[in-house]
């Protein structure tokens, strides 16, 4: 009788949800990460199969938890919205993020950013954008013939995947939605909404006052 030896089971690979690094080094970098992530989330809010995340670790290769990166913002078309501790590509129909953004800070080293660009090139990113808010320097790369190639004419460039336009004519980067609306912060959106509500309330008050005056004159405003 031949006894077959069982192959030793490989230990389960743990994919940490955090790399121990802070989301940002300063308030300006943090603000830009939030502006891009939140506005892209709003832009694709009605599409259940567009996943937008900020500062989420991406593991492209099953079984290797050392191959990973945490883009400041990433967009994945073809994957459902929802909470994730990390983006494990093999659990996502092997769909890699198509668009990624990085926001530079003084703490970012050139070597680190070069490694990230190589990573994005190797693992299938279609569009990669890098913004330095301190110098108002914006660069982009787009996949062409199997590799990420620099976008030379980046001024007023329109992202093929996102449909958004990048404007560098001012003191800082401006990003426009496909409908021409400018990307804004949550505070600005909240302020504009509050102002719109105040204008609507004032219009109602003026209408009520006018109706009262018409009634005093013996005129029924509902008959006008």
Give yes or no for a contact between 168 and 138, defined as CB atoms under 8 angstroms apart: yes
Question: What pLDDT is attached to residue 162?
Answer: 98
Q: What's the confidence (pLDDT) of residue 18?
A: 86
d(CA 86, CA 83): 9
Residue 7: the pLDDT is 46
93-102 in b/e burial notation, b at 16+ Cβ within 10 A? eeebbbbbbb
**What is the predicted pLDDT for the residue at 205?**
77
Does pTM top 0.85 for this prediction?
A: no
Reading the block at residue 184, the tokens are 């804004």
Angle at 209 between CA 208 and CA 211, to 5 degrees: 65
3-state secondary structure of 91: helix
Contact (Cβ atoms closer than 8 angstroms) between residue 141 and residue 19: no
Which parts of the chain have pLDDT scores under 70? 1-11, 23, 186-203, 207, 210, 224
* DSSP characters over 135-187: TTEEEEEEEETTEEEE-S--TT-B-TTT--EEE-SSSS-EEE-TTSPBP--HH
């Amino acid at each position: 009788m031949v006894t077959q030896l069982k192959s030793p089971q490989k230990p389960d690979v743990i994919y940490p949800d955090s790399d121990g690094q802070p989301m940002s080094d300063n308030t300006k970098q943090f603000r830009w990460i939030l502006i891009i992530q939140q506005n892209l989330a709003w832009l694709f809010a009605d599409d259940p199969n567009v996943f937008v995340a900020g500062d989420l670790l991406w593991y492209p290769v099953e079984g290797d938890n050392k191959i990973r990166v945490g883009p400041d913002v990433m967009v994945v078309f073809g994957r459902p919205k929802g909470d994730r501790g990390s983006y494990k590509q093999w659990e996502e129909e092997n769909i890699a993020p198509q668009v990624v953004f990085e926001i530079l800070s003084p703490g970012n080293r050139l070597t680190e950013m070069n490694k990230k660009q190589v990573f994005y090139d190797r693992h299938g990113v279609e569009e990669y954008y890098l913004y330095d808010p301190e110098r108002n320097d914006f660069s982009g790369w787009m996949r062409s013939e199997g590799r990420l190639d620099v976008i030379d004419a980046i001024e007023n460039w329109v992202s093929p995947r996102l449909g958004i336009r990048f404007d560098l004519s001012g003191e800082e980067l401006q990003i426009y939605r496909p409908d021409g609306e400018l990307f804004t912060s949550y505070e600005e959106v909240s302020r504009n909404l509050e102002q719109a509500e105040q204008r609507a309330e004032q219009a109602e008050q003026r209408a009520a006052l006018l109706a009262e005056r018409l009634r005093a004159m013996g005129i029924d405003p509902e008959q006008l």
